[in-house]
Chain A
Amino acid sequence: EAQVTQNPRYLITVTGKKLTVTCSQNMNHEYMSWYRQDPGLGLRQIYYSMNVEVTDKGDVPEGYKVSRKEKRNFPLILESPSPNQTSLYFCASSLSFPVEQFFGPGTRLTVL
């Protein structure tokens, strides 16, 4: 089944404790992206990747890192999480750009 998977789906952590949210797609898509969703704000793009080893900042990259060492994986790294990074995070992929994106199920992160 063609899909985008994210892990973990739920995470509660404490300020400053490094964490990684994984994202994987099995559709051989070139483009992948991370978003955060906060009430009343829609989605805001954190980082995106056009292909392996090619990444760029979105609107809200501060406090986040990404890497794209393999085409299928695009992990989101929070080196020192803070409470203002409490949010719902979505990973998405598309065959190329600007066609439609396929979204993962989301990761709900709470930073205490």
Chain B
Amino acid sequence: ELKVEQNPLFLSMQEGKNYTIYCNYSTTSDRLYWYRQDPGKSLESLFVLLSNGAVKQEGRLMASLDTKARLSTLHITAAVHDLSATYFCAVGGDSNYQLIWGAGTKLIIKP
């Protein structure tokens, strides 16, 4: 059974700092997604990673996928307050159409 673990679950950081959120998963998968959720809002797609070694960047966020290590990272560079949100990773499951989600990382960036 596929399990997805994110850490940390909560992160408070200062503006301007760099940090990384980790997404580990327990069985083989080559499909991984990152989403963002603002408080009281819906989810917004950030990245879709579909192959080993995939790296995608958007602004101050960069995501990577290592399928051999069963690990994805979401790196935040020079954080700004607007990036405060909860970040979820989701991993493709045994079924082609199944997604298993991590518990989310709540990120607070202080001015």
Contacts and interface: CB of A to CB of B under 8 A. Distances in A.
Interface of A: 31, 33, 35, 40-45, 48, 50, 56, 58-59, 90, 92, 97-106
A101 B45 contact: yes
B101 A98 contact: no
B103 A99 contact: no
Contacts, number: 52
A71 to B, nearest CB: 16
Contacts of A45: 98-101
Nearest to A102: B45
B96 interface: yes
Interface of B: 4, 31, 33, 41-45, 48, 50, 88, 90, 92, 95-104
Contacts of A105: 41-42
Nearest to A41: B103
A92 B97 CA distance: 13
Nearest to A42: B101
A43 B88 contact: yes
B97 A43 contact: no
Contact of A104 (B42, B48, B50): B42
B101 A44 contact: yes
Contacts of B100: 45, 59
User: Which of B31, B41, B42, B92 is packed against the most chain A CB atoms within 10 Å?
Assistant: B42
